[in-house]
Amino acid sequence: MKKQNCSHSRRGARQYRTPSSLAPFHATAVALTCLICNSSSAQSTGASPELAATNTPVRLPEVLVQGREDSLIGVAESASQGTVGAIQLERRTLSRPGEVLETVPGLIVTQHSGAGKANQFFLRGFNLDHGTDFATSIDGMPVNLPSHGHGQGYTDLNILIPELVERVNFRKGPYFADVGDFASAGSTDLQLYRVLPQGIAQVEGGSFGYARGVFADSSKAGPGHLLYGLELYHNDGPWRHADDYRRYNGVLRYSVGDSANGWSITGMGYKGDWDATDQIARTALAQPGFGQFDSLDTTTGGNSQRYSLAAEWHRADEKSASKLMAYGFFYDLDLFSNFTYFKDAVEGDQFEQADERWVGGAKASHTWFGTLLERDMENTVGLQLRSDSIDNGLYQTVARQRTDKTAQAGGTIPAVTRTDDIWETSLSPYVENKMQWGEKFRSVVGVRADYYYFDVEGNDPANSGHEDDAIVSPKGSLIFGPWSKTEFYFSGGLGFHSNDGRGVTAPSDSADPLVRTYGAEVGVRSTRVPGLQSTLSAWWLDIDSELVFVGDAGETEASRPSRRYGVEFANYYTPVPCMTLDADFSFSHARFRDSDPAGRHIPGSVETVIATGITFQQEGERGFFGGLRLRYFGPRPLVEDDSQRSGETVLLSANAGYRFSRNWTLSAEAFNLLNREDSEIDYFYESRLAGEPAGPDDGGYARSHFHPVDPISFRIALTARF
């Protein structure tokens, strides 16, 4: 039986299931939610009087959602919700695994250090740093790491083998009951294959020491299927001091059953080692012989590893559906950075951030399918549990060796800045109700409660303590239509993000454990033009306390209340089966809500993102294929008064290849075809170069810093499928 890449399907009556959502328009919510959006999906058109009179189950057609070309009319719960399938992923150029998330309209994935470090993300007026306020999961297992040594919500997607991703499900805004922490700007769930359509063996080589090998296959094993994959990776990058990034990834999954009834066990492993060229001061370019790909500290870099095991079970029939999941993983990171060079210490300002943790969690949900007043209805209850046992620290280092330092102003800077043992646990029940009130009107309402407990034991008793907090978040959506293949959405909800446990328990300057966010969105989705799916949305989001990246400290800190709003326009067009075009436009406005002499602009907040591309593929087992992709990452304020701004970043990439048969393909990718000397990222903060006299700002100089994009580069791959 041919395997289908279906996002949502359930056999039986009363089907309008969709990835869950909620909103604050009912003071009390009735019953309620699908735990994982992936497990929900078939569509209902509302019971006709003839069907209602029989009061008997009727088999409705399955809704198969394979990617952006498929209509989400009758399925989606907000205008900014979507799905990207394996076909679209295969046709895109990817310079790094994290760029899988750039399939989310309006999202930018970039880097300011070595390739093994987590990417930096931008979306909806946010500089998301390394993942704050954007929740990412793999088959429901969370990737974001709270109370992390290098930033709240740290999201490292180097654990991903892109060829094994079957689908990217994304949702924006705090309107969905089954996601909580970090999801105010949005969330995404990367779903891996249970069974590969074909086995794959691929070797790649390219510019700057790039080499990669991938082998993956799935085979029948007893009552189920065994999927296995391995990736070996190396890349030096264009840097004068090579990254020498070595990455090893492995996936092993055993699954039984199908999308309606079955279970699976999945193991994943990742290990990476790298050197790094951090962002550099622009004034350093004036030094003789110093270029944009040089480093101001050639001993920075790091190593990381993550090993996980997850088990899930699911079942569905005409009356109900259930899903259980349990996961655990071990994670370790040692990261050596130097952002200020010689501002504080005679020996240099390099520091180490260490994070080691064991994480365990579980998710459960149960949905009842029924009727109310002869109208289709779904009620879901869910429960999520997570516990992180964390050991992290901040240390002064020279050439990656922990050491006491001599301060520029005199005295000694101890090698150990701080160490902390952190236990952070959360318990999150939620309920959701989906109701088809009429042929042209349905609703999704729900409420989520989150309880968090923090226990911190630091080397300094002043940093130790314990704290707990709870928050309740109602959410919902009203959906009208379709008329002429066009549907209208009104979504709203309350959400939150958690703060770093070390800041929560510090008695002298404690932050709120859970920070409230408020969001709303109005949008429209249309497939009226044959082959074209378009969505237009206007959104708004308030946060009671912004998390802002502090460049010279390399961390995020709780800051002032903020407000963002904007417009997004996303389009995906298939004029003929062999060609696709997409064009996504995102415009955002971000400001602090309080008054401060420093200004109201939020540093790093993205204002304009434009992404567009075209792909072509000859039909049949032989033929040419290729594509072009343009990404525009607009200027951003770098300081609160907007006196310093970044430049724009424009990247043009392309791929082309030839399929010799069903089994053999030769392909090439090219990046930064215009060979622009733009920045991956820009910051403005104080630093001091070697040999510079003491500056006016605590010994440093307030100046611009940047990390350049790679120059034009190429990769060639030979792929065998079997």
Q: Which residues are registered as beta bridge partners of 152? A: none
Q: Which residues touch 387 (CB under 8 Å, ≥6 apart)?
A: 359, 360, 361, 423, 424, 425, 426
Does any domain span residue 478? yes
Looking up tokens 């970090």 gives 182
Does any domain span residue 294? no
Measure the CA–CA gap between 568 and 265, rounded to whole angstroms.
Answer: 38
Q: For the segment 621-669, what is each residue's pLDDT rounded down to a tens digit?
A: 899 999 999 999 999 999 999 999 999 999 999 999 999 999 999 999 9
Q: For the segment 232-251, what is each residue's pLDDT rounded down to a tens digit?
A: 999 999 999 999 999 999 99
Q: Strand 416-438 to strand 134-138: parallel, antiparallel, or no bridges (unpaired)?
A: unpaired
609, 634 Cβ separation under 8 angstroms? yes
Confidence at residue 423, expressed as pLDDT on a 0 to 100 scale = 97
Cα–Cα distances (Å) from 571 to 64, 104, 161, 526, 539, in that order, read 20, 12, 27, 10, 17
When pLDDT is cut at 50, 70 and 90, the band that residue 55 belongs to is very low
Does any domain span residue 145? yes
Does any domain span residue 7? no
DSSP H/E element including 52 = helix 49-54
Does a cis peptide bond (omega within 30 degrees of 0) precede residue 482?
A: yes
585, 627 Cβ separation under 8 angstroms? no
Q: Which residues are registered as beta bridge partners of 433? A: 379, 445
Q: Would the pLDDT of 37 be above 60?
A: no
Q: Dump the DSSP string for 485-545.
A: TEEEEEEEEEEEEEPPHHHHH-SSSPPPSEEEEEEEEEEEEE--STTEEEEEEEEEEEESS
Q: For the segment 601-618, what is each residue's pLDDT rounded down to a tens digit?
A: 999 999 999 999 999 999
Q: For the segment 179-205, what is each residue's pLDDT rounded down to a tens digit?
A: 999 999 999 999 999 999 999 999 999
Nearest to 690 by CA among 284, 369, 110: 284
Q: For the segment 396-417, what is each residue's pLDDT rounded down to a tens digit?
A: 999 999 999 999 989 999 999 9
Does any domain span residue 3? no
Backbone angles phi, psi at 239, to 5 degrees: -75, 145
Measure the CA–CA gap between 485 and 483, rounded to whole angstroms.
Answer: 5
Q: What is the mean pLDDT of the chain?
A: 89
Q: Would the pLDDT of 109 be above 60?
A: yes
Q: Would the pLDDT of 455 be above 70?
A: yes
Q: Region 419-444: what's the mean pLDDT?
A: 97
Measure the CA–CA gap between 127 and 164, rounded to whole angstroms.
Answer: 28
What is the sign, positive or negative, of the torsion defined by CA atoms of 539, 545, 550, 554?
Answer: negative
Does any domain span residue 293? no
Query: Count of domains in the chain?
Result: 1
Cα–Cα distances (Å) from 7 to 169, 259, 382, 505, 618, in that order, read 8, 9, 20, 42, 26
For residues 548 and 371, the model is more confident at 371
Does any domain span residue 166? yes
701, HSE (Cβ side, Cα atoms, 13 Å): 16
Share of residues in the chain with pLDDT > 90 (%) = 82
When pLDDT is cut at 50, 70 and 90, the band that residue 553 belongs to is low
Looking up tokens 């979507």 gives 82
589, 630 Cβ separation under 8 angstroms? no
Share of residues in the chain with pLDDT > 70 (%) = 89
In this structure, the chain runs to a length of 722
> Residue 125 maps to which CATH number?
2.40.170.20
Q: Would the pLDDT of 546 be above 90?
A: no
- Domain around 140: 37-217+226-286+299-721
Taking the whole predicted model, whether its pTM rises above 0.85 is answered as yes
| Amino acid identity at 460 | D
Does any domain span residue 9? no
The number of beta carbons lying within 10 Å of the beta carbon of residue 401 is 13
656, 647 Cβ separation under 8 angstroms? no
Confidence at residue 472, expressed as pLDDT on a 0 to 100 scale = 98
Q: Would the pLDDT of 322 be above 70?
A: yes
Confidence at residue 547, expressed as pLDDT on a 0 to 100 scale = 74
| Amino acid identity at 187 | S
Confidence at residue 468, expressed as pLDDT on a 0 to 100 scale = 95
When pLDDT is cut at 50, 70 and 90, the band that residue 510 belongs to is confident
Q: Would the pLDDT of 579 be above 70?
A: yes
